[in-house]
Structure formats: C-alpha cells, structure tokens
Amino acid sequence: MATRVLIVEDDPINLLVAKKLLEKHFEITSATNGYQALEVIEKFDFDVILMDINLGDDALDGTEVMHKIKANPNKKHIKIYAVTSYALPEDRDRFLNFGFDYYFPKPINKDLIIEKIREDIT
C-alpha cells in the first residue's frame, strides 16, 4: 500500500514544487489552509503530514493544526513534520518542543524528506 502524505501549504508555488518532488514516491493529497487540512484529515487517513507553519491569513497556523490533530485519538499516530521558512538554529528545537515529529527548513530537500518518511513509515 502506498504511503499517504498530506501537504499543508498556502503558497501555490511551494505546494506545486512539493507535490512534483514527492508524487513519484508517495500518494499525495494537499490542503491550502488549516481548516481544509482538518477537513481532509477527518475524511482520509494519512501516514505523514508536511505542515507549513505560516498559513497566510488563515486563523489557524500550522502549530495549532498539529495540536488539533495530535489531540484526536484516532489521528495521533500520524507523523507531522514542520516545513517552514523559520530556519535559525534554535527554530528546530522550538518546533520539536511544540510537538512536531520532525522539522525541515525551506527550501525543502527532497532526498531528506523522502528518507525521513520512509524511515518513519517502515
């Protein structure tokens, strides 16, 4: 069975790039804001979520969406990776302390993401 990945990204260019980089390796679904992400997660099960932190003008940022998912007993098994332009050395620790399962700075490194997903899912 294919590994199912949800990409939550409000920037259309970043979303397109991420989808193109990963769609040959995983079954990709996308959401462009926090509310849409929560709706999609209720309907489908995912193995991994690549979560942007700043979701534009959305009232929910990526950290809030992650907390809502982790609070759901039926969804807390999903690995959620922060994918963000916050790329200072202390940002990695900050996002891991927030509860994300992993952290990737933008621009994304396709090989590292594929390797981490495969490592976590197998």
Give pLDDT tens digits for 37-69.
999 999 999 999 999 999 987 678 999 999 999
- What is the per-residue pLDDT for 30? 98
- What is the per-residue pLDDT for 1? 74
Contact, 50 vs 6, CB < 8 A? yes
Tell me the domains of the chain and their CATH numbers.
4-121 (3.40.50.2300)
70 pLDDT higher than 90: yes
- What is the per-residue pLDDT for 53? 95
84 torsion bin: left (phi>0), alpha (psi -120 to 50), beta (else): beta
Segment 80-101 mean pLDDT: 94
> Helices in the chain by DSSP H: which ranges?
12-22, 34-43, 62-71, 89-98, 110-121
**102: enclosing H helix or E strand:** strand 102-105
What are the residues facing 51 on neighbouring strands? 8, 82
Which residue from 104, 100, 73, 102 is spatially nearest to 87, judged by alpha carbons? Answer: 104
Predicted TM-score (pTM) of the model is 0.95
Contact, 45 vs 4, CB < 8 A? yes
Three-state secondary-structure class, residue 80: strand
- What is the per-residue pLDDT for 56? 80
- What is the per-residue pLDDT for 28? 98
